């Protein structure tokens, strides 16, 4: 098996504060962020794994992987307010963990729908130079 990785960048704003919690509880759980939230310049690395196709000599064409990342990640997230513009985060805090799981699901389902001979095996979502969340199969 060969692992192929691609990195993209997107920018998005979000607030972790929950409306159903008191300001005191939000402050205790999420810290100084406040209800207004703020933005991040995200870096996303996605890795897929599969066998090399003997005819094309590739696991998957990078152009196709770029298209899926644009459709499933960049398009819905870049320069958006995650709480207001992404239905799944209207009531669920868009923590790094939740956002990474959301991306994993969308990219994985798209790969399956397109019947690619590979699968997503690793995802790293970096929010700052010192903080990232990872999912690995």
pLDDT in tens, 101-130: 999 999 999 999 999 999 999 999 999 999
Model pTM score = 0.94
* Residue 123's CATH number: 3.30.479.10
When comparing pLDDT for 137 and 108, which is higher?
A: 108
105-116: b or e for each residue (b if 16 or more CB lie within 10 Å)? ebbbebbeeeeb
For residue 88, pLDDT over 90 is answered with yes
What range does the domain containing 8 cover? 2-136
pLDDT for residue 130: 96
127: Cβ contacts below 8 Å, ≥ 6 apart: 40, 42, 96, 133
pLDDT for residue 35: 83
Total structural domains within the chain:
1
Q: How many CA atoms lie within 13 A of 40 on its CB side?
A: 23
Q: What is the pLDDT of residues 30-72, one digit of tens each?
A: 988 878 888 999 999 999 999 999 999 999 999 999 999 999 9
Output the CA–CA distances (angstroms, integers) from residue 83 to 18, 86, 94, 117, in the order listed.
10, 6, 7, 34
């Amino acid at each position: 098996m060969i692992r192929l990785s691609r990195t993209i960048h997107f920018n998005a704003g979000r607030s972790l504060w929950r409306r159903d919690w008191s300001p005191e509880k939000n402050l205790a759980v999420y810290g100084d962020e406040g209800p207004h939230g703020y933005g991040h310049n995200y870096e996303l690395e996605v890795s897929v794994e599969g066998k090399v196709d003997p005819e094309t000599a590739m696991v998957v064409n990078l152009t196709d992987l770029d298209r899926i990342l644009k459709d499933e990640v960049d398009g819905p997230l870049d320069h958006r307010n995650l709480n207001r513009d992404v239905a799944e985060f209207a009531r669920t805090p868009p923590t790094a963990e939740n956002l990474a799981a959301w991306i994993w699901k969308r990219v994985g389902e798209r790969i399956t729908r397109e019947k690619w001979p590979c699968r997503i095996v690793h995802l790293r979502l970096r929010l700052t130079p010192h903080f990232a969340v990872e999912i690995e199969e």
